[in-house]
Amino acid sequence: MMSGKNYSIDDQHSLKEIRNLDDFEELRTSWDELAEKQNGFTPFLCFDWFKIWLRHFLQGNKILILLLFKEDEIATIAPFLIREERFKGIKVRKIELIGNVYSPIRYFLFSELDDGEREKNLSMVFKFFSKIYNGWDILDFYSIPEENASFEILKKAIGETAFKYIDYFCFGDHYLDEINYSGEEYLKRRPGNISKNVPYRVRRLKKIGELEFRLIKNNDDIDRYMDVYYELYSRSWQKQENTGPTFHRTLANMAAAKGWLRLGFLFLNHSPMACQFWICANQQAYILKLFYDENYQQYAPGKILTAEMMKYVIDIDKVKAIDYLHGDEPYKKDWMTKFRERRGIVVFNKNIKGGYLALLNNRILPMVNENRYLKKMKETILSRLR
């Protein structure tokens, strides 16, 4: 039976704190039932995603998972992390939704997706931070999805409190939806640097040797292929990962067990040239990681592999949407047709630190940035502090 404090919110609602990993483990069934209801991003909201993330990244931080009950049923799960860090140069206690750079979105899980019901439930979560638990300086909601009015509902719920807050841009997200055509038709619709250049590159490579596209989906030899993944990554154009260097191996095994894994390789004469880590679930494909051997850069192996992956998920998996998830690099426009933003919100507590940071962010910094002399002075001071 789960430990943790219980709080009464109103006649129908109560809230329970989960503070340890043993209690978190008991939530698997209820958590996944809610994750399946969230209209997308199930792989990044399911119980195993959070379990893997906590295994690799919790470190010295603490979990604070809030369960909002409506009568005896879980209505909302709010998966928080408590961190001690600096914000604008001030040491603060920050509470944020569980996640990091590997999390394409961070959000709550709801039993009902009605806008009014979600806003009401979030308001009760903020009542907890206002009336019950005060051991925090800022709440940071990073990478909130804009789909299904999620960001606006969160903003409205915060607006109902007396907390001051700021919202900010996190990153852009290129995506493709309403797919009702074949993989070949998709490639024909792409700009010339893909529709014409990719077949040309393929012909060039086939003159050199045997070109092979290989897709790994299940657990057979998954660790052997992840060895290839990491060895190829060491020769890629991407910076070496210092955060969670084995995270993707664990994730690959989990995704393979669920039937979600799409780990693609491009080989030339049995030597790996490029790799891409995708997840495919509920007729949606998510692109998590892509890289290639810099020695083959002139042959554009990344483009060739992307084309093969696109054809596979469209023709075989019958996906209706494909999502690059994180980042607005220019090349993604060639593959996708739509763009959306991920935004965040920082909420300031009413204590001394929160009040100071609210004043700094809402009044002082905007005034400084509007004055070019003060702005230059600020940049000079910051450069000396780095």
Q: How far apart are CA 188 and CA 89, in angstroms?
A: 51
Residue 358's Cβ-side half-sphere holds a number of Cα atoms within 13 Å equal to: 16
Residue 117 within any structural domain of the chain: yes
Strand partners, 322: 176, 285
Based on the fold, state whether residues 148 and 213 are members of the same structural domain: no
Residue 297 within any structural domain of the chain: yes
Which tokens go with 22? 């043993």
Tally of domains within the chain: 2
CATH number at residue 71: 3.40.630.30
What amino acid is encoded at 10 in this protein?
Answer: D
Residue 331 within any structural domain of the chain: no
Burial degree of 139 (CB within 10 A; 0-12, 13-18, 19+): buried
Based on the fold, state whether residues 132 and 48 are members of the same structural domain: yes
Please tell me whether residue 285 adopts helix, strand or coil conformation. Answer: strand
pLDDT at 205: 94
List per-residue pLDDT tens for the chain, 386 residues long.
667 789 998 888 999 999 999 999 999 999 999 999 998 899 999 999 999 999 999 999 999 999 999 988 999 999 999 999 998 888 999 999 999 999 999 999 999 999 999 999 999 999 999 999 999 999 999 999 999 899 999 999 999 988 999 999 999 999 999 999 999 999 999 998 899 999 999 999 999 999 999 999 987 889 999 999 999 999 987 666 666 789 999 999 999 999 999 999 999 999 999 999 999 999 999 999 999 999 999 999 999 999 999 999 999 999 999 999 988 889 999 999 999 999 999 999 999 998 888 788 777 655 645 555 444 554 554 454 44
Residue 210's Cβ-side half-sphere holds a number of Cα atoms within 13 Å equal to: 6
Torsion of CA 27, 30, 31, 34, to 10 degrees: -170
Residue 358 within any structural domain of the chain: yes
Based on the fold, state whether residues 101 and 23 are members of the same structural domain: yes
Based on the fold, state whether residues 29 and 126 are members of the same structural domain: yes
Burial degree of 224 (CB within 10 A; 0-12, 13-18, 19+): exposed
Q: What is the CA radius of gyration of the chain?
A: 23
Residue 205 within any structural domain of the chain: yes
pLDDT at 220: 81
Based on the fold, state whether residues 121 and 12 are members of the same structural domain: yes
Based on the fold, state whether residues 162 and 192 are members of the same structural domain: no
pLDDT at 365: 55
CB distance 92 to 83 below 8 Å: no
Based on the fold, state whether residues 199 and 137 are members of the same structural domain: no
Based on the fold, state whether residues 57 and 95 are members of the same structural domain: yes
Strands (E) in 148-208, as ranges, are 164-176
Domain boundary among 319, 350, 374: 319
Based on the fold, state whether residues 283 and 346 are members of the same structural domain: no
Please tell me whether residue 79 adopts helix, strand or coil conformation. Answer: strand
**From the centroid of its chain, how far is CA 137?**
24
Residue 215 within any structural domain of the chain: yes
Based on the fold, state whether residues 248 and 190 are members of the same structural domain: yes
Residue 250's Cβ-side half-sphere holds a number of Cα atoms within 13 Å equal to: 14
Q: How far apart are CA 306 and CA 60, in angstroms?
A: 38
Q: How far apart are CA 75 and CA 33, in angstroms?
A: 11
**From the centroid of its chain, how far is CA 107?**
9
Residue 327 within any structural domain of the chain: no
Based on the fold, state whether residues 245 and 207 are members of the same structural domain: yes
Residue 87 within any structural domain of the chain: yes
What amino acid is encoded at 306 in this protein?
Answer: T
DSSP code, position 257: H
Angle between helices 197-208 and 301-315 (to 10 degrees): 110
Based on the fold, state whether residues 134 and 188 are members of the same structural domain: no
pLDDT at 374: 42
pLDDT at 345: 96
Domain interval for residue 84: 6-171+341-385
CB distance 164 to 357 below 8 Å: no
